[in-house]
Structure 1
Amino acid sequence: MKNTLLDNFYQEISTNFSDENKLDFKCQIHFNAEHEIYKGHFPQIPIVPGVCLTQIIKEILMEKLQKELILVNGDNIKFLAMINPKENPDMELSFTVKINENTLDVSANYSHGGTTYTKFKGKFSVLE
């Protein structure tokens, strides 16, 4: 499993993930405010792209659960506030996961300092 954004775009600082709480866990992540993507999104005021926020959710799930995943349905993705990595480089990412046969129903939220920045609800298929 290859994470394409890990260690360059963001890194996981800490987590409470374990076998006992693999369906409801949190991670602390840190965005690299100097990443190339911000030269185009946007040079004066960098904003973490929504597609990257979704990819991070997938990558963390793949790493934690040791399964190859593909997003098959983004039922409800809400970008409530922009994430500027120069102002708020650290975010808490909380997960609630329901495992079905070959799918995961996932709710995830990005938050910092009492503010929720992104809410995600979707379904991932497990690739064999």
Structure 2
Amino acid sequence: MLLKDFYKVLESSKEEETFITKIYIEKSHSLYSGHFPDRPVTPGVILMHLFKEEAERRTSQNLGLIKASNVKFMAVVDPNTSDEVILETQITEEEGITKVKGIAKQNNALALKFNALYKAV
């Protein structure tokens, strides 16, 4: 886990080819004191990293990012608005490459959408 005590998984399920994971974000985490003190925002790179950790849990591998594409930040993830984020993750493995398509939502609003390629490290 990149940031100790930043989040915990509340629920996890699979619907067809998509893993649905509800996570709780600790809004008192020290990350938010610097990003930003008066208006906490979850950094986009942290949201992307949540998908890496989700893929690692699902594949039982340590993964390193090869490439991210179609990265679209659609809304701010504000821990004061809601301390829950939903991750919708599609994971496929082919020839040693783990492909991830991810969508993050907060309050049913799309916050992040991206594709990534990872390799076991």
Partner of 2:94: 100
Moved over 3 A (4+): none
Partner of 1:5: 3
- Structure 1 residue 114: Cα displacement: 2.9
- Structure 1 residue 63: Cα displacement: 1.6
The answer to whether the 8 Å contact 1:5/1:56 transfers is no
Consecutive unaligned residues in structure 2, runs of 5 or more: none
Aligned residues with identical type, % of pairs? 26
- Structure 1 residue 92: Cα displacement: 0.8
RMSD: 1.6
TM-score, normalised relative to structure 2: 0.92
The answer to whether the 8 Å contact 1:14/1:29 transfers is yes
Moved more, 96-105 or 33-42: 96-105
What is the distance in 2 between the residues matched to 1:107 and 1:60? 11
The correspondence for 1:58, drawn from 19, 44, 52, is 52
TM-score, normalised relative to structure 1: 0.87
Please state which structure has a larger fraction of its residues in strand. Answer: 2
What amino acid maps onto 1:114 in structure 2? N
- Structure 1 residue 123: Cα displacement: 0.6
Partner of 1:24: 18
SS in 2 for 1:51: helix
Partner of 2:83: 89
Partner of 1:117: 111
Consecutive unaligned residues in structure 1, runs of 5 or more: none
Aligned length: 121
